[in-house]
Amino acid sequence: KQEVTQIPAALSVPEGENLVLNCSFTDSAIYNLQWFRQDPGKGLTSLLLIQSSQREQTSGRLNASLDKSSGRSTLYIAASQPGDSATYLCAVGNTDKLIFGTGTRLQVFP
């Protein structure tokens, strides 16, 4: 049974820092991995999708990497801003569904 864990559960950093969010999964037989952002009381915004054959994806200040063999993905956020404050969720694509991690709640203070 696939289990997805995210560390840390919460993170508070000053503006301008580069930071790394971690996601680990127990079954390496995945189709893809997707990173989402969720603002309080809002829906999910897709940030990046990494296919199982890819090693990383980049979008603006975000870079996500995938190491299937070790069951890990990282989301790197460069030059963090207060507007980056949100909960970040990773989700592993397995056959016909996404299996979500527990989330990292990020706060970036000015």
Partner 1 sequence: DTAVSQTPKYLVTQMGNDKSIKCEQNLGHDTMYWYKQDSKKFLKIMFSYNNKELIINETVPNRFSPKSPDKAHLNLHINSLELGDSAVYFCASSHYRAKDYEQYFGPGTRLTVT
Q: Which residues contact partner 1 by CB under 8 A? A: 31-32, 34, 36, 42-46, 49, 51-52, 87, 89, 91, 93, 95-100, 102-103
Q: To the nearest whole angstrom, how small is the minimum distance from the Cβ of residue 96 to partner 1?
A: 5
CB 1, min distance to partner 1, A: 12
Residue closer to partner 1 (CB basis): 22 or 102:
102
* SS3 state of residue 101: coil
Q: Are 102 and 5 in contact (CB under 8 A)?
A: yes
Angle formed at CA 101 by CA 79 and CA 105, multiple of 5 degrees: 40
Closest approach of Cβ 42 to partner 1, in Å? 7
Cβ atoms of 50 and 33 closer than 8 Å: yes
